[in-house]
Amino acid sequence: MPPAAVDDAQKRRSRARRGDGDRLRGEILAAADALLIATNDIATLSIRAVASAVGVTPPSIYLHFADRNDLLFAVCERHAIQLEAAMADAAVGVDDPLERLRLRGLAYLHYGLHHPEHYRILMMSRPDDTPDRFIDERMADVAGLLPVVEDVRAAIDLGLFPDQDPLDAAKLLWMMIHGMVSLLISKPDFPFPPPEESYQRLYEMLVAGLVTPARAAPDP
């Protein structure tokens, strides 16, 4: 006789034990994530689709999430954490602040390209589609902005960058890498150069300036 408690998850999940009412919550989030990766379309993340992927009826979702928006919010949270982690890992063991910045940006680029729909939700949603309060307080972390600010500050302290507001500089860097990621995502058929190449050129442009030194810093 088959063990009844095995989570077969294919057609009908086993009922949660009294204690772990939160088990379903985790499964819902995982299913939503998988669905998002599979379809690459946030519109397919309907309550019904998620419920069916988990093997549960739609009303069950409401046991764990107030409404669809709340579910999407939770999914956002996961991705934000993933992106932050990727950016944090990228700079581990590297001392040069300039190189740290380059690597963080590269990690950001890769995250966006490998999780386009996640990135789209996080960074490209219509503001009113984003769950309430997600932007204001969370956004600075979401973008992984704080470590970048630290790197910029370190670069200034070392005399690598001219003196400037590190936070403003970090925001500007965010804008630029976001431009690259979001355009590559939205226009996949446009003949952009390979992402790594574009990134390298962006980096060089920023470091050296676009204009030939003769004009940038005229010799007296």
Residues at the site binding DNA, with contacts judged by CB under 7 A? 4, 12-13, 15-19, 21, 23-24, 44, 46-49, 56-60, 62-63, 67-69
CB of 42 to DNA, least distance (A): 10
Alpha-carbon span 4 to 24, nearest angstrom: 18
The residue (of 4 and 175) whose beta carbon lies closer to its own copies is 175
| Partner touching 21 among DNA, its own copies, none, CB below 5 to 8 Å by kind | DNA
Asked if 206 and 175 touch (Cβ cutoff 8 Å), the reply is: no
- Residue 172 as a binder of its own copies (CB under 8 A): the answer is yes
CB of 21 to DNA, least distance (A): 3
- Residue 201 as a binder of its own copies (CB under 8 A): the answer is yes
Q: Which stretch binds its own copies (CB under 8 A): 10-18, 24-32, 68-76, 159-167?
A: 159-167
- Residue 37 as a binder of its own copies (CB under 8 A): the answer is no
Terminal Cα distance for the chain, rounded? 91
Residues of this chain that bind its own copies (CB under 8 A): 41, 98, 120, 123-128, 135-136, 139-140, 159-162, 168-169, 171-172, 174-180, 182-183, 186-190, 192-193, 198, 201-202, 205-217
